Amino acid sequence: MPANSLLIAGGTVIDPEQRLEAARDVLIKDGRIEDMAAGLAKKERLSGVARIEAAGCWVTPGLIDMHVHLREPGGEADETIASGTRAAARGGVASVLAMPNTEPPIDSPALARLLAAKAREAGAVNVLVAGALTLGQKGERLTEAARLKEAGAVALSDDGRPVMDSGLMRRAMEYARDAGLLVIDHCEDASLSQGGCLHEGAAATAKGLRAIPWASETVMVLRDIALCELTQAPIHLAHLSCAQSVAALRSAKKRGLPVSAEATPHHLLLCEDDMPGYDADFKMNPPLRGKADRQALLEALADGTIDAIATDHAPHRPQRKELPLELAAFGVIGLETALGLALTRLAAKGALSRRKLIERMSCAPARLLGLKSKGSLRRGADADVTVIDPAASWTVKPPFESLSRNTPFAGLRLKGRARATIVGGRVAYAL
């Protein structure tokens, strides 16, 4: 058997896309899933093939994180493609969707091609490209959706710079739909959130900080849903944070609209009261909200109203975080902790079955982004595989693969992590 083969032996395959949860060996060849069967590893003809022992482990489609800030180009002191994708690999994530709010923003086919080429060269995992929705992310003129798609983009977003102009948003959605690209919207009405730093509630009040009301998100969620109904163009709502947005999404889905959404591990697991003092590692946008909001997100994730878990991995070097809270940057890292947190705090606690967990972290993002050869281990699919040890205990602490360390989960003891991350048949990470 040639050297470009790999056998993952002795694990339990969890492939929600095939409705499969069973002991199976997986054979990879030439970057694709070649075969999957029980007892495959015992076959004489495969005795010479390199193998990963996966006894006691789950073998799942490679995880896909559809909301990641790699910071390159322009923010290399916070993260690079190399460091960010190493962080992904360590976290069991085989593919990341790189958000375009870099310096410069990825708003032209040439920049998208450059980024994709750099990612092929330096990336430890697959880097999928999101193009900007408007030129310079200024919210004024549309980018060239069709040509961005040709250049390799799989989605369009002005994440971080909310699109306030509803007329423009309508045209952007229509144009992206025609080009076959998903629009991802960071829902925030800047006139309501302006100057805010934490969720508008008792915690921000006690700390004396300007606050961001839930309505700043929900106003835009409702607008996007109306535009989705008007145009029938798909829209994906990024990092939802509050109960009212979830309710709006649920009713839109009931009406059959092509709207989808993601939630982050920090919004699923933390709320406004969890920030100790003025710790900027708990400052992100949207902010951590109330207990009831968190509960609504958990329910929506379990019942499928929220389609995917995405981290909004937002690295910032310490100089941008070790500041008075009002001056500190928004955002937290998440690639290295998402899987461990989901296993420990969602699956083990019964909030989400392990099959749903894998579905939300792999199959759903693949489906939403139109990645036909990812999010499944069926024969012929890309050989992106995550091997998960559900029993491995570890503590969240530096050193991280990420260049930054702005996590609100530092010091937390977790159970479960990636044992190996295989990307296109190559071992990108092994514990």
Partner 1 sequence: MAAISWDRKDLLGLETLSSGEIEGILDAAAPFADNPRSRGKALSGRLVAFFFSEPSTRTRSSFEAAAKRLGADVLGLSAAGSSAAKGETLLDSLRNLEAVGAEYLVVRQELSGALEPLASKLKASLLNAGDGCHEHPTQALLDVLTLRRKKGRIKGLRVVIVGDILHSRVARSNIHALTALGARVTVCGPSALIPAGIERLGARVSHDLNAALAGADAVNVLRQQLERQNRNLIASLPDYAGRYGLSPERLAGHKDLLILHPGPVNRGVELDSACADGPQSAILEQVANGVAVRMAVFSLLASWRARHAR
For the annotated catalytic residues, the residue numbers are 312
- Asked if 110 is part of the footprint of partner 1 (rule: CB under 8 A), the reply reads no
Partner from Zn ion, partner 1, none binding residue 159, C-beta < 5-8 Å depending on class: Zn ion
Q: Is 190 in the site for partner 1 (CB under 8 A)?
A: no
The Cα angle at residue 212 between residues 207 and 217, in degrees rounded to 5: 155
In the complex, which residues of this chain contact Zn ion (CB under 5 A)? 159, 186
Which letter does DSSP use for residue 134 in this model? B
Residue 95 to residue 64: CA distance in whole angstroms: 5
Q: Could you tell me which stretch among 27-35, 45-53, 195-203, 398-406 binds partner 1 (CB under 8 A)?
A: 195-203
Q: Which is nearer to partner 1, 204 or 414 (CB)?
A: 204
- Distance from chain centroid for Cα 248: 22
Which is nearer to partner 1, 239 or 289 (by Cβ)? 289
Q: Dihedral sign for Cα 44, 49, 52, 57, please.
A: negative
Give dist(CA 196, CA 257) in Å, integer: 32
Please, what is the minimum distance in Å from the beta carbon of residue 330 to partner 1?
Answer: 15
How far is the C-alpha of 289 from the C-alpha of 211, rounded, in Å? 11
Asked if 360 contacts 313 with a C-beta cutoff of 8 angstroms, the reply is no
- Give, in order, the Cα–Cα distances in Å from 70 to each of 112, 358, 372: 14, 23, 24
Residue 186 interface partner, choices Zn ion, partner 1, none, CB cut-off 5-8 Å depending on type: Zn ion
Q: How far is the CB of 137 from Zn ion (least distance, A)?
A: 11
Residue 292 near partner 1 by CB under 8 A: no
User: Which residue from 213, 302, 348, 394 is in contact with partner 1, where contact means CB under 8 A?
Assistant: 213
Binding to partner 1, residues 42-101 (CB under 8 A): none
In the complex, minimum distance from the CB of residue 186 to Zn ion, in angstroms, rounded to a whole number: 4
Site membership for partner 1, residue 324 (CB under 8 A): yes
Query: Would strands 51-53 and 5-9 be described as parallel, antiparallel, or unpaired?
Result: parallel
Binding-site member from 105, 123, 162, 201 for partner 1 (CB under 8 A): 201
Site pattern 241..280 for partner 1 (x: CB under 8 A): ------------------------------------xx--
Report the alpha-carbon distance of residue 205 to residue 1 in Å, rounded: 66
Q: Name the minimum Å distance from CB 278 to partner 1.
A: 4
Reading the block at residue 81, the tokens are 């493609």
Using the rule CB under 8 A, which residue among 240, 325, 329, 369 binds partner 1?
325
Do residues 65 and 87 touch, judged by C-beta distance below 8 A?
no
Q: Minimal CA–CA distance to 129: which of 162, 95, 99?
A: 99
Q: In angstroms, what is the minimal distance from the CB of 238 to Zn ion? A: 5
* Helix 291-303 × helix 243-254 angle, to 10°: 30
3-state secondary structure 37-89: ECCHHHCHHHCCCCEEECCCCEEEECEEEEEECCCCCCCCCCCCHHHHHHHHH
204 binds partner 1 (CB under 8 A): yes
Q: Which stretch binds partner 1 (CB under 8 A): 11-19, 40-48, 208-216, 422-430?
A: 208-216
- String marking each residue 304-323 x if it binds partner 1 according to CB under 8 A: -------------------x
Residues near partner 1 (CB under 8 A) are 200-211, 213, 277-278, 323-327
